[in-house]
A = this chain, B = another copy of it.
Amino acid sequence: MLTIVASTSLTFNSRAEHRAWLEQQAALPAGFRTGTATFGFTPREAPKPAKMTLTLIALEQPTENFAAVFTRNAFPGAPVLIGRRRLETTRWGAIIINNKISNVCAPDGEAASEQLCAKVGELLDLPATAVLPSSTGVIGWSLPVEAMLHALPTVMPQLQGDSILPAATGIMTTDLYPKIRRAEVAGGSIVGIAKGAGMIEPNLATMLVYILTDLAVPRAELRAILTRVIGPSFNSISVDSDTSTSDTVAVVSSGKVPCPDLAAFETALATVCRDLAEDVVRNGEGIRHVIRVRVTGAADESAARALGKAVVNAPLFKCAVAGNDPNVGRLVQAIGKHAGAAGLALDPARLQLRMGGIGIFAHGVFQLDPQKEVALVEHLKSAELYQSVIPSDGIYSAAVDYPPHERCVEIEIDLGQGADAAEVIGGDLTHEYVSENADYRS
């Protein structure tokens, strides 16, 4: 298993503190420019005013060195279908991203995305095939192509090479804050931004990640490295188990800085991906507690990861965590349900469970007493990101727009069966999640 640990243990006391830290992270690698433009339009399927932001990431010179992975959802959006083809093209020169509408199974969706790529190519003197399109937003609606074509030229004067923060903000929908992570390697840098996860806006489910580097990593190596780092980062998180139709992780190298040490690059990229993945969960819809599940003693890594995913996706355990309720019975229920359904041979006599470092199950039986209950409640409270506020209109919303800390509810599951391990990060299930996805009508 590729082992990656969290690179930071940050705390922020205010939005301003967090913003200052983001600005430190945001310096663009050499060879990239980004810009955004926002405009109003009226969706065809539900005629009422809406706003869309276009975000353009442009290379000074097109590059052969790019990599991307896309959703496994069987109904991928048009930009994903195009993006898969773009992996076979010779050069990428730009990425054009829109929020608000995801362009999934909409009539003439691919033609719409190709029109946008052609327009970007015209503005940047590139072939359309050198432009990666990306969309996030309502599934099923059609892109307002004419309005987008009209707005695209207004992005050009906004292009700048200093900061990725405008792009990290531009791809947001109802994310509470932009997400940026960077690493410095051998005189170059890796800077990634992420949008998601969960249904950031009612109707919308997408995680989009763009990682830019000036380090000259050839295409074949870049793709192999991305494939390896995806598993323990973006494939090890879950907000609500709902795989989006548009998930995209793209890595682009401008090649401005030589990269003598590919191993160091891989480690740095893995850390950027892992930290962005946790950021995505920490900013996941309605999440008040991030839950980190470490499965050890497993016979193989994929089984360990699947078990971790089952725990962070178990609604009843998630609700208990939301309520600062150390309901360890539900944890055992979730493990047992997955093991029973997946045919995972599990020996309760060898299983050990800890929450917040406190032993709660061993030798086939629970290890509980009233004192442990008090300590477990304290652990849950210490990992809370904000307190839920009872709203007068019944619509719950998150009480912070920055991550106050990076603490997690720590679950350790030792299967006592083998030497493999995996770590999975997820979150609780809260009134804020239900409000975001049920109470606001689209």
A433 CB-CB contact with B under 8 Å: yes
Binds B, one of A22-30, A119-127, A235-243: A235-243
Residues in B whose Cβ lies below 8 Å from that of A439 = 323
Q: Summarize A's interface: helix, strand, loop or mixed.
A: loop
Residues in B whose Cβ lies below 8 Å from that of A346 = 74
A118 CB-CB contact with B under 8 Å: no
Q: State the CA gap A179–B109 with chains docked (Å).
A: 49
* Count of identical protomers in the assembly: 2
A115 CB-CB contact with B under 8 Å: no
A105 CB-CB contact with B under 8 Å: yes
Q: Mark A202-237, 1 if CB is under 8 A from B, else 0.
A: 110100000000000000000000000000000000
Contact A73 B337 (CB under 8 A): yes
A442-B341 contact, Cβ under 8 Å, with A104-B332, A244-B333 = no
Which size bracket describes the interface of A in this complex?
35 or more
A341 closest partner in B (C-beta): B72
Contact B104 A325 (CB under 8 A): no
Partner of A433, one of B319, B370, B373, B390: B319
Contact B243 A319 (CB under 8 A): no
Binds B, one of A11-19, A154-162, A293-301, A359-367: A359-367
A75-B333 contact, Cβ under 8 Å, with A106-B365, A316-B242 = yes
Residues in B whose Cβ lies below 8 Å from that of A329 = 102, 104, 138-141, 203
User: Smallest distance from the beta carbon of A270 to chain B beta carbons, Å?
Assistant: 24
**What are 28 A-B contacts with C-beta separation under 8 Å?**
A47-B370, A73-B333, A73-B337, A73-B340, A105-B365, A138-B329, A139-B333, A140-B328, A199-B316, A203-B330, A241-B314, A241-B315, A242-B314, A242-B316, A242-B330, A242-B333, A245-B333, A315-B433, A315-B437, A319-B434, A320-B438, A322-B434, A323-B440, A325-B438, A325-B442, A327-B442, A428-B438, A433-B434
